[in-house]
Structure 1
Amino acid sequence: MSALPSVNVDHLINTRPMTPMQWRIVLLCFLVIALDGFDAAIMGFIAPELARDWAVSKLSLGPVMSAGLIGVAIGALIAGPLADRVGRKPVLICAVAFFGALTLASAFAPDLDWMVALRLLAGLGLGAAMPNAGTMVSEYTPLQRRSMLITVVLSGFTFGAAAGGFTSAYMIPVFGWKSILLVGGLLPLLALPLLISAMPESLRWLVARRPARHHARSARIIQQLAPDLANGQACLSVDEAPATVSSPIGQILSRGFFTGTLLLWLTYFMGLFLVYLLGSWLPTLIKDNGMSVSDAALITALFQFGGTVGSLLLGWLIDRSNPHRTLAVVYLLGGLAIYLIGTASHGFALFALLAAAAGFCMNGANACMYALAANFYPTQARATGVSWMRGIGGLGSIASGFAGAHMLGAGWTFATVFTALAVPALIAGIAVFLKGNVMPPSGLAQPHSLLR
């Protein structure tokens, strides 16, 4: 008898053109992250009207804002190991259902305490969705286009947030602030049937985790990826040795991964710290430096817009260069732009240019960190590695609120604030550069070593 035909999943995905099924996965993951962005930014849209309607101070809304960020960090830490054990698809579906249902419930919150609790719970789903969507895209896209497509999908977050802004501008004056929570809750729930029917499980996970148990499901996916190779009796494989540590958390903290994991965490913590601090406090800082409210808002919008452009261009660039050195340079240039904001005069054009440059570098580099993490960890621990980077980095976004309030409360000068903010960018640049010298254990992630 002849030997069973063998199909190497990594070789199949990396060497063939993208199929309609793969593009469908990219589109569905973009949809998930856009819905995530809409709901994650929703409190910022409704806060002024909520404060007026409930007769509470804007300061009292601080716990509501923080609750969502705390939930996101916890959700990412929980969802990664879960996705590595039970699969990417069920965790992604449950995350969307969870943040949709909790956002919908928030529309019926009777008071601020209930709103804090519901936003904390919604944050669990929001934190689980983005890293798992990024992981799914990384496992269905060819190596030479992977970083670009991951960052394109992640740009869905700013797309969703922007869509929420436009929707709020129209609906709140007509239907009230609760209507935005209803929309933000219903849209994810309406998307669930599409996600359940059209989103496959990760083929790499099926083959790497339990190939014999999942053989029938894997064969159906191969039928769509490569009909010419489809064979119900084919032997499927991936270019990874079996995991030597049973726990995904233990694996990302095991010898060979430990140093790289810590450097990924440090880089992303510093990156999110800066992005959230500038996104939250830049309008106040610019306004206090003598500019109008509208100019301050526009400059902050350019900071976000620069990040969207940076995500797309840098994703393309790191597919074609040494990603660690490229991101190190980008973080350092972002730190320089931030420092120069503090030395700039009152001219609107210069502030706008520097803010856009800072957003391009910091937001763009942060988006590329998902690709860097996905290409560092093996399939058995990839969702955990990406999600824990997001969760630990999320602590930086939480810390940014306290740091911004402290700097303003302490009376720091405009120049001093931005000089201090250049330091985290410097740390991020050094950390990601050092990460480039860290390799995973031999045989565990061989296909991905092409990026290092």
Structure 2
Amino acid sequence: MDIRQTINDTSMSTYQWFIVFIAVLLNALDGFDVLAMSFTANAVTEEFGLSGSQLGVLLSSALFGMTAGSLIFGPIGDRFGRKNALMIALLFNVVGLFLSSTAQSAGQLGVWRLITGLGIGGILACITVVISEFSNNKNRGMAMSIYAAGYGVGASVGGFGAAQLIPTFGWRSVFAAGAIATGVAMIVTFFFMPESVDWLSTRRPAGAREKVNNIARRLGKVGTFEFPGEQSLSTKKAGVQSYVALMNKDNRATTIKLWAAFGIVMFGFYFANTWTPKLLVEMGMSEQQGIIGGLMLSMGGAFGSLLYGFLTTKFSARNTLMVFMVLAGATLIMFITSTSVPSIAFASGVVVGMLINGCVAGLYTISPQLYSAEVRTTGVGAAIGMGRVGAISAPLLVGSLLDSGWSPTQLYVGVAVIVVAGATSLIGMRTQAATVVEKQPEALATK
């Protein structure tokens, strides 16, 4: 019996859904981290005397780390195992958050944020692939959307927590709380997250067959499972060959389109989530209203991810994503032009959060389905890394434009146009089920 075919075709067990729950917890760490820096921005700016451009650099420091982490941990996951890479990434995250709580200067905080970002980038590259691989064909889109909804949950909890912690304990307490939460998540992952059966089947380390069958029993899959076909790329060559494979004749067009889509969506996503509280204050709202506006985006995010997952059971995942991108651009404009009426602004903020988070859920859903198992973590990690280029550009560009006199309205309209135009990058993108027949090593090497 083939374990991949069995997972694809049989109902998801309670343990498989528990794996999705762990992924939600890990993705929530990303949401917490981004919003933690956003909500502490005013306090950090006041303590260290930062300009808009300097704050933009600080906001981007973790994103630089995320870019590097996604690119570094992707090949590590393909070579040494998804879970092993994930545990190392979690360790980086814990250390970075703890050290951020001790920062005594903007420079120190930037370095510790960079380390935090390395961990988060690695977490996302690995866990996105794991969830896709442990989901069946019927529920894969919904499982990925539930996972993506974790970002909004973490952002909301982190935002509410930050609002309570900062006035009483100062901004450093927010990062200390994040370190504790990440430490708990690391323990849960170590004991309950299994290694990828796709990695075990293609890399075949010592005892792989026994490990696959043990995992299958935990998943509730009955039978004895064997490995079909030949072994995949040798472990020693996995890292180099994985990146080469992303640009072979079969993957090149898809890879470029996926990178473009990730970059544009992440540009809009991080613009909305990092700058909204401050820009709403610039529009005349109080600091408390600015925080509430940011929370509205986060709260809408969780619902948007689930809405996207539901729609993919009825419509094409790619087409649904394109519609979400167009509507996200339109509601960004509605949001910033309605700030004179806070109730309307907050309501439209929920819609913006729903749509922009739905876009992220869409990218997470389709990206693992584009690559075979031996390069899957590298492919997803590279796409997330390219997405971080857009994420990094958002705080830096917006900070510079704000210093040069751009109004919040001009900034939101500009970002809206970019997001709408980005929907064209999905035209012609092919997706395939995670049941891809693994390429033989000699075939991969000749492309």
Shorter-chain TM-score bucket reads 0.7 to 0.9
1:182-211: per-residue Cα shift (whole Å, max 9, x none)? Answer: 322233224433322221101121112227
Q: Which residue of 2 aligns with 1:236?
A: 227
Q: Which residue of 2 aligns with 1:330?
A: 324
1:277-312: per-residue Cα shift (whole Å, max 9, x none)? Answer: 223334454454555555444344323322221111
Q: Which residue of 2 aligns with 1:187?
A: 181
Structure 1 residue 257, shift from structure 2 partner: 0.8
Q: Aligned partners of 2:339, 2:56: CA distance in 1, in Å?
A: 32
Q: Aligned partners of 1:141, 1:18: CA distance in 2, in Å?
A: 7
Identity of aligned residues (%): 27
Q: Letter of the aligned partner of 1:15 in structure 2?
A: D
Q: Aligned partners of 2:416, 2:33: CA distance in 1, in Å?
A: 30
Q: Which residue of 1 aligns with 2:95?
A: 101
1:70-93: per-residue Cα shift (whole Å, max 9, x none)? Answer: 111111111111101111001111
Q: Aligned partners of 1:343, 1:227: CA distance in 2, in Å?
A: 54
Quick one: which of 73, 76, 79 aligns to 2:73?
79
Q: Aligned partners of 2:242, 2:375: CA distance in 1, in Å?
A: 5
Name the TM-score, length of structure 1 as normaliser. 0.86
Say whether the 8 Å CA contact 1:311–1:363 is kept in structure 2: yes
Q: Letter of the aligned partner of 1:90 in structure 2?
A: N
1:132-167: per-residue Cα shift (whole Å, max 9, x none)? Answer: 111111110111111211121122222222222333
Say whether the 8 Å CA contact 1:84–1:381 is kept in structure 2: yes
Q: Aligned partners of 1:317, 1:170: CA distance in 2, in Å?
A: 36
1:18/1:259 CA distance change after superposition, 3 Å: same
Stretch deviating more after TM superposition (422-431 or 291-300): 291-300
Q: Aligned partners of 2:405, 2:176: CA distance in 1, in Å?
A: 41
Quick one: which of 29, 52, 56 aligns to 2:49?
56
Structure 1 residue 342, shift from structure 2 partner: 6.3
Report the 3-state secondary structure (helix = DSSP H, G, I; strand = E; otherwise coil) of the residue aligned with 1:434. coil
Q: Aligned partners of 1:85, 1:442: CA distance in 2, in Å?
A: 19
Stretch deviating more after TM superposition (97-106 or 287-296): 287-296
Structure 1 residue 48, shift from structure 2 partner: 4.1
Stretch deviating more after TM superposition (216-225 or 275-284): 275-284
Q: Which residue of 1 aligns with 2:442?
A: none
Q: Aligned partners of 1:292, 1:50: CA distance in 2, in Å?
A: 18
1:111-135: per-residue Cα shift (whole Å, max 9, x none)? Answer: 3322222211121011111231111
Structure 1 residue 237, shift from structure 2 partner: 3.6
Root mean square deviation, CA, Å: 3.1
Q: Letter of the aligned partner of 1:162 in structure 2?
A: S
Say whether the 8 Å CA contact 2:66–2:120 is kept in structure 1: yes
Q: Which residue of 2 aligns with 1:149?
A: 143
Q: Aligned partners of 1:405, 1:136: CA distance in 2, in Å?
A: 36
Q: Which residue of 2 aligns with 1:372?
A: 366
Q: Which residue of 1 aligns with 2:255?
A: 261
Q: Which residue of 2 aligns with 1:279?
A: 273
Say whether the 8 Å CA contact 1:243–1:380 is kept in structure 2: yes
Q: Aligned partners of 2:129, 2:94: CA distance in 1, in Å?
A: 21
Say whether the 8 Å CA contact 1:324–1:432 is kept in structure 2: yes
Say whether the 8 Å CA contact 2:369–2:431 is kept in structure 1: no
Q: Aligned partners of 1:437, 1:201: CA distance in 2, in Å?
A: 25
Q: Aligned partners of 1:181, 1:302: CA distance in 2, in Å?
A: 22
Structure 1 residue 350, shift from structure 2 partner: 4.1
Q: Letter of the aligned partner of 1:104 in structure 2?
A: F
Q: Aligned partners of 2:184, 2:339: CA distance in 1, in Å?
A: 49
Q: Find the structure with the greater CA-based Rg.
A: 1
**Would you say how many aligned residue pairs link Structure 1 and Structure 2?**
434
Q: Which residue of 2 aligns with 1:15?
A: 9
Q: Aligned partners of 2:196, 2:432: CA distance in 1, in Å?
A: 27
Q: Aligned partners of 1:276, 1:124: CA distance in 2, in Å?
A: 17
Q: Aligned partners of 1:56, 1:181: CA distance in 2, in Å?
A: 20
Are residues 1:27 and 2:18 paired?
A: no
1:9-31: per-residue Cα shift (whole Å, max 9, x none)? Answer: 22211222222321221122222
Q: Aligned partners of 2:294, 2:433: CA distance in 1, in Å?
A: 38
1:310/1:191 CA distance change after superposition, 3 Å: closer
1:28/1:288 CA distance change after superposition, 3 Å: closer
Query: 1:89-168 counterparts in 2 under 5 A?
Result: 89-168=83-162
Are residues 1:401 and 2:395 paired?
A: yes
Structure 1 residue 95, shift from structure 2 partner: 0.9
Q: Aligned partners of 1:385, 1:89: CA distance in 2, in Å?
A: 17
1:252-288: per-residue Cα shift (whole Å, max 9, x none)? Answer: 2211111111111111111111122223334454454
Report the 3-state secondary structure (helix = DSSP H, G, I; strand = E; otherwise coil) of the residue aligned with 2:350. helix
Report the 3-state secondary structure (helix = DSSP H, G, I; strand = E; otherwise coil) of the residue aligned with 1:317. helix
Q: Letter of the aligned partner of 1:433 in structure 2?
A: I
Structure 2's unaligned 5+ residue stretches are 440-447
1:393/1:225 CA distance change after superposition, 3 Å: same
Q: Aligned partners of 2:302, 2:43: CA distance in 1, in Å?
A: 28
Say whether the 8 Å CA contact 1:256–1:440 is kept in structure 2: no
1:55/1:369 CA distance change after superposition, 3 Å: closer
Say whether the 8 Å CA contact 1:241–1:444 is kept in structure 2: no
Q: Letter of the aligned partner of 1:235 in structure 2?
A: E
Structure 1 residue 385, shift from structure 2 partner: 1.2
Say whether the 8 Å CA contact 2:68–2:118 is kept in structure 1: yes
Q: Aligned partners of 1:201, 1:237: CA distance in 2, in Å?
A: 19
Q: Which residue of 2 aligns with 1:3?
A: none
